[in-house]
Amino acid sequence: MNKETQPAISADMGSGQFRDEIVGKRIEGVIARPGRDGQPPVVLMLMFEDGSVVEFISPRSDRLLRRAMRCTGSSDRAAQASAMGQLELMPMPAGPPGGHGLN
C-alpha cells in the first residue's frame, strides 16, 4: 500500500483495531523526550515506513491542555480555528516602547 491508501489511525479506534493497524508495520522514526530522574525516554510519536503516524497523548497532558484553554478564555477562538483546520495563533507581547518587538 502507498501513503494515499493507508487507513487513518485515529483516537476513536478501539484498542483491538489499533493493534491490528500497527502489527506488522515497520517503525521508521521515533520522537521521544528524555525521562526524568533516570527514567527511560518517553515516546511521544511513532512514524511508520508507510508514512502513517501515531501520537501518544497522556491523560494528564490532555487535562492540562484543556485547563489551560479554559483559563485563557480563548476556547472560542481555538474552537473556530480548529473547525477551520488551523492552529490558533497566540499573540506575542509587545516589546519596549520604541523597540522592534522580539528582536
- pLDDT category at 26 given cuts 50, 70, 90 is very high
Q: Would you call 102 helix, strand, or coil by DSSP?
A: coil
Nine-digit cell at 93? 507581547
Bridge partner list, 32 = 43
The residue ranges of every structural domain in the chain are 11-83
Neighbouring C-alpha atoms within 13 Å toward the C-beta of 50:
17
Work out the angle between the directed axes of helices 75-83 and 59-72 (0-180°, nearest 10): 110
Is this prediction's pTM over 0.85?
Answer: no
Question: Could you read off the pLDDT of 42-100 as tens digits, one per residue?
Answer: 778 888 999 888 887 777 766 766 776 676 655 555 555 555 554 454 555 555 555 54
Q: Could you tell me if 51 and 6 are in contact, meaning their C-beta atoms sit under 8 angstroms apart? A: yes
Nine-digit cell at 51? 508514512
